[in-house]
């Protein structure tokens, strides 16, 4: 594939031309869903979630392809661009539904007053924006695809806070419920398009297709789990990894040779309990499978560098 000794550490300035990056590091990103190979049982779990209008909770190790599931489904079913809500310990349900810049609104009114414009225009729309979950619940002819990524990193209360919205498929923008204008056009999360909110209420017509990912770092309340279709990503075997390498790098994996050795060694380490991600294997294959790839001790050192266990610093 591609290896280059661009940096030598000799302090000499030189012009270099970098080789093309791996496909998953090319920008803008190409759609990952077209390359995804679902494990056995996942299509049934997806279809159950679609049929029941329930979220799909996908659990598995980092790099096992959890977040790519929704890309694959959205691509095959033509659901449009995927909305993304990346969870941290500071994430709240309110931020996922809509954002209100109250300070910006106050500041704008003060500026108009100071400029002598007389009576201020009470236009709240520029200071509101629907969040990823709020946008997914906007009425539509097809379900929107929403990824709630790494929900196990959330505050302990967030899964429970989600329950009412996931059950009812609606929410209220309190600032608009109290506003004198009955209709306000609010920008959506992933574009500058607007949705006209009436009396502060947003209610979906098609429940969104929601995929929530978890690294199994915590337990969830039973009330939350029973509202989800759950799927555990299996540990990949050698045949699966060969298919992944072929799909992402457009290359055949022979029964023997450097790439086969990398795949086989990766599987052995997984079964021994090492915490590794599939994208590490893809990186190692990309760097070490070309004609100019380092050999001998340098090759072994690069394997150790690229396939370093994730649980170690």
In-domain check, residue 195: no
Identify whether 10 is part of a domain.
no
Whether residues 267 and 150 fall in one domain? no
Q: Please report whether residue 188 resides in a domain.
A: no
**7 part of a folded domain:** no
Give the pLDDT of residue 32.
67
CATH code at 143? 3.40.50.300
Dist CA 228 CA 54 (whole Å) = 6
Q: What percent of the chain has pLDDT over 70?
A: 94
Residue 133: the pLDDT is 98
On whether both 222 and 117 belong to a single domain, the answer is yes
Within a domain: 265: yes
Is the model more confident about 289 or about 117? 289
The pLDDT confidence band at residue 202, using thresholds 50, 70 and 90, is very high
What the block records as the tokens of 306 is 């690229």
Residue 76, SS3 per DSSP: helix
Q: Is residue 143 part of a domain?
A: yes
Q: 299 and 272 in one domain?
A: yes
Mean pLDDT of the chain: 90
Q: Are residues 224 and 292 in the same domain?
A: no
Q: Which two tokens stand for residue 152?
A: 């196990």
| Beta-strand pair 194-198/183-187 | antiparallel
User: Is the domain of 278 the same as that of 145?
Assistant: no
Does residue 8 lie in a domain region?
no
The neighbouring-strand residues paired with 210 are 146
Residues 86 and 215 in one domain: yes
105 CB-contact burial (10 Å; exposed 0-12 / middle 13-18 / buried 19+): middle
CA 154 to chain centre: 15
SS3 272: coil
164 and 246 assigned to the same domain: no
The model's confidence at residue 121, banded by pLDDT at 50, 70 and 90, is low
Does one domain contain both 118 and 254?
no
Same domain? 154 vs 247? no
For residues 170-193, average pLDDT: 92
Q: Give the model's pLDDT for residue 9.
A: 94
Give me the pLDDT at residue 116, please: 66
User: Which of 213, 232, 251 is where one domain is finished?
Assistant: 232
What contacts 24+ positions apart, CB below 8 Å, involve 14-18? Answer: none
What mean pLDDT comes out for the span 28-39? Answer: 77
Q: Is 218 in the same domain as 250?
A: no
176 part of a folded domain: no
Q: Please tell me the total count of domains within the chain.
A: 2
Core vs surface per residue 75-104: b (16+ CB within 10 A) or e: beeebeebbebebeeebebeebbbebeeee
For 23-50, letters b (16+ CB in 10 Å) and e give beeeeeeeebbebbbbbeebeebbeebb
Give residue 244's domain range.
23-29+237-306
Q: Are residues 85 and 112 in the same domain?
A: yes
Q: Are residues 228 and 254 in the same domain?
A: no
């Amino acid at each position: 594939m591609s290896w280059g000794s661009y940096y030598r550490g000799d302090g000499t300035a030189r012009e270099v031309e970098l080789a093309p990056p791996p496909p998953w590091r090319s920008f803008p990103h190409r759609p990952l869903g077209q390359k995804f190979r679902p494990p056995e049982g996942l299509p049934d779990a997806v279809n159950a979630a679609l049929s029941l209008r329930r979220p799909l909770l996908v659990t598995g190790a980092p790099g096992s392809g959890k977040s790519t599931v929704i890309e694959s489904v959205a691509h095959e079913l033509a659901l449009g661009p995927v909305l993304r809500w990346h969870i941290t310990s500071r994430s709240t349900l309110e931020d996922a539904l809509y954002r209100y810049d109250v300070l910006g609104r106050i500041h704008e009114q003060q500026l108009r007053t100071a400029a002598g414009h007389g009576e201020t225009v009470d236009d709240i729309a520029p200071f509101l924006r629907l969040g990823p979950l709020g946008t997914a619940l906007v009425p539509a002819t097809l379900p929107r695809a929403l990824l709630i990524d790494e929900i196990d990193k959330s505050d302990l209360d967030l899964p429970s806070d989600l329950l009412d919205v996931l059950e009812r498929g609606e929410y209220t923008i309190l600032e608009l419920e109290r506003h004198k204008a009955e209709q306000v056009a609010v920008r959506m999360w992933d574009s500058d398009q607007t949705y006209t909110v009436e009396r502060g209420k947003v209610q979906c017509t098609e429940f969104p297709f929601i995929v929530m990912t978890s690294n199994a770092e915590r337990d969830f309340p039973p009330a939350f789990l029973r509202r989800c279709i759950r799927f555990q990503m299996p540990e990949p075997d050698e045949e699966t990894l060969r298919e992944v390498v072929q799909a992402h790098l457009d290359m055949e994996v022979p029964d023997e040779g450097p790439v086969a050795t990398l795949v086989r060694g990766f599987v052995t380490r997984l079964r021994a309990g090492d915490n590794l991600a599939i994208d590490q294997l893809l990186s190692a294959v990309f760097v070490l499978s070309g004609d100019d790839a380092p050999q001998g001790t340098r090759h072994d050192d690069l394997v150790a560098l690229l396939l370093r266990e994730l649980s170690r610093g």
